[in-house]
Amino acid sequence: MPSEAAIGIFDSGIGGLSVLKHIRTQLPNENLLYVSDRAHLPYGEKDKQYILQRSRVITQFLISKNVKAVVIACNTATAAAVKELRESYQLPIIGMEPGVKPAILRSRSGMVGVLATHGTLNRHKFKTLLQDHADGSEVIICPCDGWVEAIEQNGHDHQTTRQIVSQQLQPILERGVDTLVLGCTHYPFVKKMIADEAGPDISIIDTGPAVAKQLQRQLSAHNLLSEATTPGSEAFWCSAPPRQTQKRIESLLQVPVRLQLLPEPK
Ligand code: DGL
């Protein structure tokens, strides 16, 4: 596999762009291919088999584009599919999970809130994460109903999105958490709304930068880091008609993009 091959990144929608941004900063000369599976979101409300099947379709597509590594820029898809994908494919597959461990380390009160989808919170992988790290701390979970849909439909800076975020944060804030984990890649786009609601004394943990570092480590370990000295390119695919997603991506990345329709297997 040549080191000049691209890195494949996918999510159910635009959430994974919050990870792509960190990858771009960490690895400026790598070529990136991004897939938004918008026709099938929210993953958070789907069962394991459904997400696994979509993750396989997308991974196959990325492999057909000769990627050298795949980043599952989605906590929900990682919880449902990372193990099986790693068993099926040889290339490095980088997944992500809610930053419970760093949150517990940072928390002074021992009260931590995890914001994530039902799909992430109900999966065995998350329960194991809590068992392994929550020792002595209280972890309060918040299945953020409708956040992903609101961010996809209305954007990250919309009154309706703000109402949904604010309403569902209240109960968890009232419990006295001092650290909040963004356990879904869509949520960094509403980090400011969350911070406005939570106030300055509450820390907010986003695992996007750690995922970009882990990707760099994996590429380096496999001798796959690009040796290019010029800025890398980005290409985008979407499983739903691209028009609306194109606007969202352009507004989030602040550059014009060309979005292509994801081909589905026959
Ligand atoms: N962005 C995804 C995550 O990190 C989930 C979005 C969805 O529910 O589709 O979990």
Are the CB atoms for 56 and 82 separated by under 8 Å?
Answer: no
Half-sphere exposure of 195 (CA within 13 A, CB side): 10
Are the CB atoms for 249 and 255 separated by under 8 Å?
Answer: no
Q: Say what the pLDDT of residue 242 is.
A: 85
Residues belonging to the active site: 74, 184
Q: Say what the pLDDT of residue 159 is.
A: 92
Tens of pLDDT along the chain (266 residues) come to: 777 899 999 999 999 999 999 999 999 999 999 999 999 999 999 999 999 999 999 999 999 999 999 999 999 999 999 999 999 999 999 999 999 999 999 999 999 999 999 999 999 999 999 999 888 899 999 999 999 999 998 877 889 999 999 999 999 999 999 999 999 999 999 999 999 999 999 999 999 999 999 999 999 999 999 999 999 999 999 999 888 889 889 989 999 999 999 999 88
* Distance in angstroms (rounded) separating the CA atoms of residues 65 and 152: 26
Residue 118 structure tokens: 């039902």
Residue 192 structure tokens: 């400011």
Domains along the sequence of the chain with CATH: 7-96+209-261 (3.40.50.1860), 100-206 (3.40.50.1860)
Q: Say what the pLDDT of residue 154 is.
A: 86
Q: Say what the pLDDT of residue 1 is.
A: 74
- Ligand 1: residue of 43, 51, 115, 238 to mutate (most ligand atoms within 8 A of CB) is 43
* Distance in angstroms (rounded) separating the CA atoms of residues 79 and 120: 6
Residues in contact with ligand 1 by the CB-under-6-Å rule are: 11-13, 15, 41-44, 74-76, 117, 120, 148, 184-186
For ligand 1, the distance from its centroid to the CA atom of residue 110, given in whole angstroms, is 26
Q: Say what the pLDDT of residue 136 is.
A: 86
Q: Say what the pLDDT of residue 4 is.
A: 87
